[in-house]
Chain A
Amino acid sequence: DVKVTQSSRYLVKRTGEKVFLECVQDMDHENMFWYRQDPGLGLRLIYFSYDVKMKEKGDIPEGYSVSREKKERFSLILESASTNQTSMYLCASRLVKTGTGDGYTFGSGTRLTVV
């Protein structure tokens, strides 16, 4: 089975800190995604990467950046953490195949609290 591993389950950071969230997948998937999940708002796409060194903004990229130097690793960076970035962060990966039926494999999530 594909495994997507997020480096931390829980994080507490101070306002203004630079925060790194790491995500690693072990099945050579091309596409990787970062979402945040908030009650009543569902999952919102922050950034995605369709291949190594490629990145695209999602729906809510402000305050975030990403890095994908290697195919298996996709990092989310909060340049200067703010309290409104307190959330559950979910990483996902997807294998690119012809056709449209390929689902995401998600990590277990990182619950970030900014104080």
Chain B
Amino acid sequence: TQLLEQSPQFLSIQEGENLTVYCNSSSVFSSLQWYRQEPGEGPVLLVTVVTGGEVKKLKRLTFQFGDARKDSSLHITAAQPGDTGLYLCAGKINAGGTSYGKLTFGQGTILTVHP
């Protein structure tokens, strides 16, 4: 059972365009993280959101956590070829004191930005 659904799975756009990636679940998460992974490397943490309704900005990237803490979005403004990569959302379910920081990952969104 996939607890986190990411969409779209693939995104191919031109440099300068805007895009949004969605991460949805039926479960409530105590926190949600976004990672970016380049080919041949491990994922790198971009941001963590904790509070329902929270919005965080990282240069041209805007991250939002849903009010009910069941969904999140990543918006990139004026995408550049350097943004190309696999974007992963990951959530920590609030399952009491035994989760030990376990994260559940979405399937990922492969973004390609063409010059």
A interface residue numbers (CB < 8 A to B) = 4, 9, 31, 33, 35, 40-45, 48, 50, 56, 58, 90, 92, 94, 96, 99-109
Contact = CB atoms under 8 A, between A and B. Distances in A.
Interface residues of B, number: 26
Interface string B43-69: 111001010000000000000000000
Given A48-B100, A102-B101, A108 B33 contact: no
Contacts, number: 64
Interface-centre pick from A4, A94, A101, A103 (highest chain B CB count, 10 A): A103
A45 B102 contact: yes
A39 to B, nearest CB: 9
A103 B33 contact: yes
Contact of A90 (B31, B42, B92, B102): B42
A19 B63 CA distance: 40
